[in-house]
Amino acid sequence: MKTVNFKVVGINSKMIPNFKIDNEIIKFKKNEFDSYETTYQTDKDEIELTVSRNLELASKFWWLYALISFIVSIFGIFEPPYDKKNIVIDCKFKIKLNEFNEIKLTFNSLTTNGKAVEINTLNEYEEIKNEFYVDKKLKIRWILLLVSKILIWIALIIVIVFLVKNKI
């Protein structure tokens, strides 16, 4: 059984990535230094580490979820904001394992392009993908959502003014 100690540094509250090892979701625990750690055990000689960032606007029924969320949050008053940068993380590494392994992942600051993660380990690894990029389709969806919310608020104000005017 091989043990892998992972440490992740540089995650901020706006960037919440998903970590998978061989298509199995891995959960990290926050330590006292604001970094995240976990221990993973496997019998394999090589693992495939995938780091990705899922945005709500990328889902199939994004418009339905956005509409329900907007209405339930009292027309967006209590709704958390969507990420307007729409930066996607896409990283994939193949790491050869020894008996005991230390792997440290350091996230770079959110930019529109460049390397997303710096990996620090004594193990041999192959970097298949390692990038940030702006998803233009999600950017258009974000703009559509913003315009829709503004139009709904304008329509709501017009209806309220009309009802108040006719009652008085």
How many separate domains does the chain show?
1
Phi-psi region of 88 (alpha: psi -120 to 50; beta: other; left: phi over 0): beta
Whole-prediction pTM: 0.77
Q: What is the pLDDT of residue 168?
A: 64
Q: Which stretch of 24-38, 71-85, 109-123 has the lowest confidence by average pLDDT?
A: 109-123
Residue 25 domain boundaries: 2-167
Cα dihedral 154, 56, 69, 30 sign: negative
With a cut of 80, say whether residue 29 has pLDDT above it.
yes
